[in-house]
Amino acid sequence: MIEFKNVSKVYGNDVTALSNVSISIDRGEFVFVVGASGAGKSTFIKLLMKEIEPTKGNIIVNDTDITTLKRKQIPYYRRKIGMVFQDYRLIPTLSVYENVAFAMRIVEASYREIKKRVPLVLSLVGLSDKHNDFPNQLSGGEQQRVALARAIVNNPSFLIADEPTGNLDPETAMGIVSLISDINKAGTTVIMATHAEQIVNHMKKRVIAVENGTIVRDERKGRYYYED
């Protein structure tokens, strides 16, 4: 489903962020990408989101080489990706319902589809009673649940979660990851970049460790740190 083939990224200041990375992620997997700040995690995510281009190599997503996509094709590619960030990125002037519905309007879903789908997804993330609230009326955990609902409302082929628990207390963070796990069990591929050692160790999912731009470890049911 997702394949990096000898991918390198060198920024303009001659800093190598990724070096000759080759890795495959199958449909339906849950993958943690871990590593220190500056290790290359963010570059990995940005390449997948088509925010930046590799210096060399190819990235294949659903049998399409996204490194060859033209600029006008990129928005359509991104519509197939669910994205969740540390800072939620909700629109403050829109209600919970409207924030989620906005993602469907972008893909030109009908009013009938939006009216049916949005309440269903809000129920899934436990926010049915908050649909009229605005982001500033919600806790951090609730805002991240809205962001999750928005990310999955269009049934993406995969979900990218970039430090989604970074601003949350441990209990709330575990709740968010539990939700992401449920989304994964329903069939959505999940790629989550994180520093949350406790969560990674608890979940026992695939762990890809990045260090100085290279993959130093790729383990099924891995841990945040390698143990002999």
> What are the residue boundaries of the structural domains of the chain, listed by start?
2-80+156-219
Flag whether pLDDT at 222 surpasses 90. Answer: yes
Flag whether pLDDT at 228 surpasses 80. Answer: no
Flag whether pLDDT at 12 surpasses 90. Answer: no
Q: Please name the residues in contact with 146: beta carbons below 8 A apart, sequence gap of 6 or more.
A: 88, 90, 96, 99, 100, 125, 127, 130, 135, 138
Q: Which fold has domain 2-80+156-219?
A: Rossmann fold (3.40.50)
The pLDDT tens digits for 99-158 are 999 999 999 999 999 999 999 999 999 999 999 999 999 999 999 999 999 999 999 989
The pLDDT tens digits for 166-194 are 889 999 999 999 999 999 999 999 999 99
Strand order in the sheet with 214-219: 81-85, 158-162, 189-193, 30-34, 206-211, 214-219
Task: Identify the residue with better confidence: 157 or 3.
Answer: 3
Residue found by looking up tokens 């160790």 in the block: 201
Entry pTM:
0.92
CB 69 within 8 A of CB 77: yes
Which among 39, 51, 58, 43 has a CA at the least distance from the CA of 11?
Answer: 43
CB 179 within 8 A of CB 148: yes
Distance CA 225, CA 228 (A): 10
The pLDDT tens digits for 43-77 are 999 999 999 999 999 999 999 999 999 999 999 99
